[in-house]
Amino acid sequence: MKVQMVDLKASYINIKNEIDSAIQNVLNKTNYILGEEVNKFETGFAKYCGVKYALGVANGTDALRISLISCGIKEGDEVITTPFTFVATTEAIIQSGGVPVFADINPATYTINPEEIEGKITKKTKAILPVHLYGHSCDMERILAISRKYKLKIIEDCAQSFSASYKINGKWKKTGSMGDVGCFSFYPAKNLGCFGDGGMIITDNKRIYENAKMLRDHGQYDKYLYKENGFNSRLDTIQAAILSVKLKYIDKWTNIRNKIANNYKKLLGNIVIVPEVPGNCKHSFNYYTICFQNKMERDKTQKNLLSNGISCQVYYPQSLHLQKVYRNLGYEIGSLPVSEKMQNSVLSLPMYPELDDDKIDYVVSKIKEIIWR
């Protein structure tokens, strides 16, 4: 049996008629750049997230870069973030002129540990960039308290957490709606994926929204008049039309992902470490990530899964502070021990709404061939 990490074909086939007619509709109108479908999707997305503004951009990395610049990040400003994330997070900080400063993670949630943040704050610190990894919200209550105390901006990386939420002051808030800005990716394998690249910025701040809107379109504030050096970073009309169709199904799909996660937990919970979801979080399970006691167990299991036709992936095999590209930041081995331990212990399993029980049982059986406690 073959089991993929995600099944993009199955996802398309299930809603093929709706998707095809949404695409055909754009082809008939040929309004490929900033057509009305972009605005329609932005409105629906903002409503879903419970914020005032949403702005479609070309991809998740640009969402981060444009948000950082719109929040005032400039040459030499320090941005505190996690080392345990996709490289785009830090790439965007550097593209904005900022300097990434890494704070270690919480081993239970793989997200930035609020206790590690304060010790990293200097006179140059301007912002915190929490990443809601795998679909699990960061501990936002404590991160927001730190940002208020030190007057820091919060840019949330929600590329893996669309539809996840966090309870704060008794109210459920979608990830991305708690800080100054939230940044999303519609890369095909994300929870809300398009048929190419796409991204979104959300905010309640009108000034940030208007600045970002100008930056995504070459810094243009009126036809052929420019105030700032901007980018070509718009969300395609065709992608927006596809995403509007998929947005209607997102709660249904997230519920199924949570059912699959419960199933995995029931079957694997006493063999490996499985994700625990605290009462103040609703996980969106972009990835289902398990944790082993050591690298040897993890690597042996991964090898067995792969050789039996099961896709699985280590997110991420090298913590960013140890990457060659960031040698100039001056981090040494041992400086962020939790992140360094997790890079050797985690493994993400197949996870998508169309994953059926037979496939789950097959994945579990191939893990049990290696690990049995």
Ligand X SMILES: *Cc1c(COP(=O)(O)O)cnc(C)c1O
Q: Residues interacting with ligand X, by CB under 6 A?
A: 59-61, 85-86, 88-89, 131, 157, 159-160, 185, 187, 197, 199
Q: Between 92 and 355, whose beta carbon lies closer to ligand X?
A: 92
Q: Between 11 and 160, whose beta carbon lies closer to ligand X?
A: 160
Say if residues 238 and 26 touch (Cβ distance below 8 Å): yes
Q: Between 81 and 147, whose beta carbon lies closer to ligand X?
A: 81
The closest of 345, 337, 328 to 103, measured between CA atoms, is 337
In sequence order, the 6+-apart residues with CB closer than 8 A to the CB of 364 are: 264, 267, 268
Question: SS3 of 5, please?
Answer: coil
Cα–Cα distance for residue pair 144/178, rounded to 1 Å: 8
The closest of 204, 207, 212 to 235, measured between CA atoms, is 212
In sequence order, the 6+-apart residues with CB closer than 8 A to the CB of 95 are: 65
Residue nearest to ligand X (CB): 60
Nearest approach in angstroms of CB 373 to ligand X is: 31
Q: Between 62 and 340, whose beta carbon lies closer to ligand X?
A: 62
Q: Between 93 and 338, whose beta carbon lies closer to ligand X?
A: 93
Nearest approach in angstroms of CB 172 to ligand X is: 22
In sequence order, the 6+-apart residues with CB closer than 8 A to the CB of 149 are: none
Nearest approach in angstroms of CB 62 to ligand X is: 7
Question: SS3 of 146, please?
Answer: helix
Nearest approach in angstroms of CB 67 to ligand X is: 12
Cα–Cα distance for residue pair 37/245, rounded to 1 Å: 11
Q: Between 18 and 91, whose beta carbon lies closer to ligand X?
A: 91
Cα–Cα distance for residue pair 275/89, rounded to 1 Å: 23
Nearest approach in angstroms of CB 362 to ligand X is: 27
Nearest approach in angstroms of CB 26 to ligand X is: 21
